[in-house]
Structure 1
């Protein structure tokens, strides 16, 4: 992106940043070295943001300059499309241009609309769950709190400078490296907190992977944990014990509505801290760039699982040393998404399964094999995807727990990775976010009719699939 020559109007996002920090225009103008009147013109989109102002905003508000320069929030536009496609609003026939304009000019109003739609959808699902329960059915779990946490992580682009700084100081003080970290972390727990680390069999652990027993001062770890998982559990525990003030400050800044949301977010941040301790930002980014983001090499160097290495890739958003912006998703064999980071790169649908033409499902048929893919969404944006099915042992009565982990980036940055070399001459696979939001009617894989268009069903013609059609009204 040529910041010198491109005119960037981001008044609504600039105003939103200021209001989120409770700053007056005069205060913000002083921080940016501008006059209040000029800042007012910027916020009203009567002046474009110059390269100097963009860099000043990125430094003052500690954000990635791309979040201002890239245009509308893709995830917000996707959420608006889902709301507009709902039967309650479908008659208005709001198109993508109108929704993008709303997201760019009135982002707070757009967020309010999407939150209202999510609440409406959750209420409808709850009613259906309750009806099923009353009829003797099984109630499905709701994801309200999880979605709130995901929204908060996406707003921060999954990057937390305070946690990075604390983790760097902690790791340097203990002189951690991949060969000594298990021993050093175990000694830290014992010396500073009187906690000994013990390994127990599954029946004693009650299928838990880890449990801290404050009464006996023991950190109990399951014998099913891999060698790489043990330091992660110990570092997470130390984050909760020694860096509660940093975690609490981040939780308070997120402004959650429920204690459950706060607890989920806090646990996620503790694991973020642990990942930053095991894979320090600068060292991890240096090897990532040197190896062209070779995930297997990053795993070996830092002693990480595939999932943890992929997770760490999504956090490389320090404006002073930015890496490639990556997204990540974790999915089980039933299509349930249990972890998701858009990273400002790839928008995700809030409900519905993933597109079967994305290699996530295929990865389950080839465990531990790395599958790469170049795909395109209906808006013609293209991406690189790197997916692998991983598993961990279950209990004696259960099958192994399996997930597919996928990480990727925009195709424009893919050439910086080793994975794009074999795909550079391959046309992108057309993929949708979810069937209900996908406009590709002539698709044999379609599992649901599109919410975007009314189908024209011809009784005299058999389409490729139950909801596929090359005709529409």
Structure 2
């Protein structure tokens, strides 16, 4: 049975009890047999589209409430939490997670909330960055209303790759009476963008690349025109402090800006027509690699979904400064450190190149272990000569065969480079790149033999 099938037995049972109906009476309202309703309530059958329509029609019921698992990110969201090494001894697989959510969705949601509140040593929830990220992942980094509004505005402005900068500038001038002024670096040594309402200017640093300049203008338009929408979404955020809420709002404004530069339907059509050729998409939409990578994690419109990419950004120390799982089940993003064997780290030595690698993730029992990844260096702020990071995109290897950048790659299971979730969470015994023993491992010492790796260990 597909993971996308809708099993909503507990929600259906609560609705029936709320209405004070027996199974016989509710079955009659839904034009189905009592025995079939019984199977639905026990999650022995998924809800069909016809039954969902009947539920909505007969009980004025919001169908979104049937997907109780959405609030925790579904099976993938719970799997990422259970990938924590505190649960590794239980060997919980995706089938068990699916059964847990289906049979006891409120208990699953309670566990997710408890986990998110407690966090891990690497992900303390008093950290506003972590709180904001948890909220973004609760939405799976897809905000349908913002996408729709950005697409409508892009159509209104008739934005295209040839005149996108001109169209954005005209919007600022005509609607907001703001001119764009490019200022020298010595005038704006510590700023990329500044709104001067007295001079009626949006001031931009000359150090911004053309792609980053367009994004900053789109971002300013988002802040001027989408405040009510962004505030409305952010006000529904759960258990986050004010700093985290502001970070979440900043993400939402950036989301709208990216959606304005890459309108959903046109962008998805281009992705599919080019086999997600990243170089072509960059040129066609006049965006940077990092902007493109962000956008690829958001393509989850109902009936119009793109491939489920994850995206991360790391520094030279292997630390994550951004990570968005989107609709993927990328447990490797939950680690506090990245594996040095991953191409995301070696890409620093190949500045500007698209570096690809198939990887098999050790310790990823809660989700697909094999991934096809694409990494490239980027400048930190979009200004030439600034701090350097690597942005990496990843897709399940089983979905990657049609990608333009995967042509010629060996995607067969067993051929991928084995990597871990950072040394402290990796139990591969023969890795010569190991810097630390895994947490919880029993160290073995043999005075008569020195192995090829610095630590010999076994599991508790």
State the TM-score, normalizing by the size of structure 2: 0.81
Q: Counterpart of 2:118?
A: 117
Quote the Cα distance in structure 2 between the aligned partners of 1:290 and 1:111.
Answer: 39
Deviations 1:131-167 (A, max 9, x none): xxxxxxxxxxx98111122112222221111001100
Which residue number corresponds to residue 251 of structure 1? 234
Specify the SS of the correspondent of 2:331.
Answer: coil
Q: Is the 8 A contact 1:80 1:99 kept in 2?
A: no
In structure 1, the residue corresponding to 2:153 is in which secondary structure?
helix
| Residues 54 and 156 (structure 1), Cα distance of their counterparts in 2 relative to 1, 3 Å cut | farther
Q: How does 1:25-174 map to 2 (within 5 A)?
A: 45-50=42-47, 52=49, 73-82=75-84, 84=86, 93-96=89-92, 101=97, 104=101, 105=104, 106-118=107-119, 144-174=127-157
Asked if structure 1 preserves the Cα contact closer than 8 Å seen for 2:141 and 2:297, the reply is yes
Match of 1:416 among 363, 379, 402: 402
State whether residues 313 and 321 of structure 2, in contact with CA within 8 Å, keep that contact through their aligned partners in structure 1.
Answer: yes
Q: 1:254 to 1:223 in 2, by over 3 A?
A: same
- Classify the secondary structure of the residue corresponding to 1:172: helix
Distance 1:331 1:440, change over 3 A: same
Task: List alignment gaps of at least 5 residues for structure 2.
Answer: 21-25, 56-60
Deviation, 1:217, is 2.4
Instruction: Determine if the alignment matches structure 1 residue 222 to structure 2 residue 208.
Output: no
Partner secondary structure for residue 330 of structure 1 = strand
The one of 406, 420, 423 aligned to 1:432: 420
Instruction: Check 1:51–1:257 CA distance in 2 against 1; reply closer, same or farther (3 A cut).
Output: same
1:227-277 C-alpha deviation (Å, 9 max, x unpaired):
111111111111111111111121123235211111111111111111111
Counterpart secondary structure, 1:368: coil
Number of the residue aligned with 1:127: none
Q: Is the 8 A contact 1:386 1:406 kept in 2?
A: yes
Match of 1:321 in 2: 304
Q: How many angstroms apart in 2 are the aligned matches of 1:162 and 1:23?
A: 31
Mean Cα displacement is larger for which, 353-362 or 244-253? Answer: 244-253
Deviation at 1:419, TM superposition (A): 2.6
Q: Is the 8 A contact 2:85 2:425 kept in 1?
A: no
Deviations for 1:163-195, whole angstroms, at most 9, x for unmatched residues? 011001111111111222212211221222222
Is residue 2:342 matched to residue 1:354?
Answer: no
- State the shift of 1:438 in Å: 2.4
Asked if the contact 1:80/1:110 (under 8 Å) is kept, the reply is no
- Rate the CA distance shift 1:119–1:464 in 2: closer, same or farther, 3 A: closer
Partner Cα separation in structure 1 for residue 325 and residue 116 of structure 2: 18
1:238 aligns with 2:221: yes
Question: Alignment length, in residue pairs?
Answer: 432
1:356 positional shift: 1.2
Q: Counterparts of 1:389 and 1:54 in 2: how far apart (Å)? A: 50
Shift of 1:72: 6.4
Counterpart check, 1:372 vs 2:368: no
In structure 2, how many angstroms separate the alpha carbons of the residues matched to 1:301 and 1:98?
39
- In structure 2, relative to structure 1, the CA distance for the partners of 1:7 and 1:439 (3 Å cut) is same
TM-score (norm 1): 0.79
Of 374, 377, 391, the residue aligned with 1:386 is 374
Structural RMSD (CA): 3.9
Contact 2:141 2:298 in 1 (8 A): yes
In 2, the alpha carbon distance for the partners of 1:112 and 1:271 equals: 27
Q: Do the aligned partners of residues 366 and 120 (structure 1) sit closer, same or farther apart at CA in structure 2, a change above 3 Å counting?
A: closer
Q: Secondary structure, in 3 states, of the residue corresponding to 2:187?
A: helix
- Mark the CA change 1:253 to 1:436 in structure 2 (over 3 Å): closer, same or farther: same
CA contact (8 A) 1:167 1:276 kept: yes
Distance 1:210 1:149, change over 3 A: same
